Amino acid sequence: MNTKDIWNNFHQELEGFITSKVNEKDEVQDILQDVFIKIHEKKALLKDEKQLGSWIYQITRNSIIDFYRKRKQNSTFDVDQMDLPQEFDDTDSNLQACEACVKPFILQLPEKYQDVLMKVTYQRVSQKEYAHQHQLSYSAVKSRVQRGREQLKHSFETCCTQVDDGFGNITFDCKSGNCH
């Protein structure tokens, strides 16, 4: 799909999404323009056109965050407090595929990391809530999540080749047919 077709199919939807996060019309147009410049420059890196919508929304989300980060230098606005969803795909297929890939790696971790990562990642339990439920300090839970993610990353790196799409999105290609 060429950039003109992408524009025709997505620009109104993206403009509405950006407007819901940024109140200034001129800024919305600037962000939208930046998004389509990135799409045009990087579209060759998209491996699967079925993921086009998710990819475009990830670019848009990152552009909105970049906008607020630039603005943050002159204000006290906290980008981390923005209400931006992490996933924009309107189906659960990407999430299910990712879960099917990641879960076996998590299940190879020591149990204290397995449990916290499964609850925080898949059941959307906050780290504070997990700490309260398991009578642990918040900092202990944060450390477990961080260490578990580091071990998970190591497992991925051992098994898979990391591919960066140029937008900070990382995909993995298995080095062997049986990583788990």
Q: In this predicted structure, what is the pLDDT of residue 136?
A: 92
Quick one: pLDDT at residue 130?
Answer: 92
Lowest mean pLDDT among 45-54, 55-64, 113-122: 45-54
pTM: predicted TM-score of the whole model, two decimal places: 0.43
Q: How many domains does the chain have?
A: 2
Comparing 74 with 11, which gets the higher pLDDT? 11
- My answer on whether 59 and 33 are in the same domain is yes
Contact 166, 127 (CB under 8 A): no
Nearest to 141 by CA among 159, 150, 129: 129
* 27-36, 141-150, 157-166, 170-179: segment of lowest average pLDDT: 170-179
Percent of the chain with pLDDT over 90: 24
Within-domain flag for 34:
yes
Task: Identify the CATH number of the domain in which residue 55 sits.
Answer: 1.10.1740
Residue 163, CA atoms < 13 Å, CB-side half-sphere: 10
User: 100 with 167, same domain?
Assistant: yes
- The confidence score (pLDDT) of residue 153 equals 82
Dihedral sign for Cα 79, 32, 164, 91, please. Answer: positive
Cα–Cα dist 155/109, whole Å: 9
DSSP β-ladder status, 160-164 and 170-174: antiparallel
Residue 89: per-residue pLDDT: 47
Q: Give the model confidence (pLDDT) of 88-139 as tens digits.
A: 444 455 555 566 677 788 888 899 898 998 888 878 889 999 999 999 999 9
Q: Are residues 149 and 112 in the same domain?
A: yes
User: In this predicted structure, what is the pLDDT of residue 90?
Assistant: 42
* Domain span including residue 36: 3-76
- Please tell me the predicted confidence (pLDDT) of residue 99: 64
Question: In this structure, is residue 81 part of a structural domain?
Answer: no
Beta strand spans in 67-165 (E): 160-164
Q: Are residues 66 and 132 in the same domain?
A: no
pLDDT for the residue numbered 171: 62
